[in-house]
Amino acid sequence: MSIIEMELFMDPRLRRQTKRFAFGLILVGLIGVILPQVMSITLSLLIAILLILAGIIAGYLTWLNYFRSGLAWLKPFFLISIGLLIALYPLAGAAAFGLLLILYFLLDGFAGISFAFVLRPMRGWIWTLINGIISLVLAVVFLVNWPFSSVWLVGLLVGISLIIDGLALLALVWSAGSV
């Protein structure tokens, strides 16, 4: 048994929590696959809310520390403005989010493949490799179809990615438990 297996998966509570998390990823992923437009709009609105909250916090901190500096107010202004634009036009936000997802899937794919080779002596490492390869394929599929099908493709690909992440995590936990 490798050090990674002993540290990550020997504690039964951690194994249970990891399985629950993996099943949660799969469930949210299934929702994204079944209702991709809803997932895309939800992600856009979530990002809008986070940007608006970040703008409010930045504005509060600017008020406390840099009240007289006009340049200090640019960050809160832009965060709130971009958040409001995405909230008012979530479809455009989904298209913009699509570009970020292409980068995410590329980085996730390369990281997953690299991590798979780190885990290589461990049983189940192949699932992490497959997960990385699928992330790279999703990046290419998204890049070819962007921006024309962003509204449904964002939700669908995020859903597929979450399902694959959950399955890879479950396979890793189960294979570590069988050693």
Q: What is the DSSP letter of 35?
A: S
Mean pLDDT, range 94-100, rounded to an integer = 83
pTM given for the model: 0.63
pLDDT tens by residue, 104-120: 889 999 998 998 888 88
pLDDT tens by residue, 1-23: 455 555 555 677 787 888 899 99
Task: Give me the pLDDT at residue 1, please.
Answer: 46
Question: CB within 8 A of 2, min separation 6: which ones?
Answer: 121, 122
Amino acid identity of 148?
F
d(Cα 118, Cα 134) in Å, to the nearest integer? 18
Buried b (16+ CB within 10 A) or exposed e, 34-58: ebbeebbbbbbbebbeebbebbeeb
d(Cα 154, Cα 121) in Å, to the nearest integer? 35
Residue 79 and residue 50 in contact, taking contact as beta carbons nearer than 8 Å: no
Q: What is the DSSP letter of 151?
A: H
Per-residue pLDDT band for 77 (boundaries 50, 70, 90) equals very high
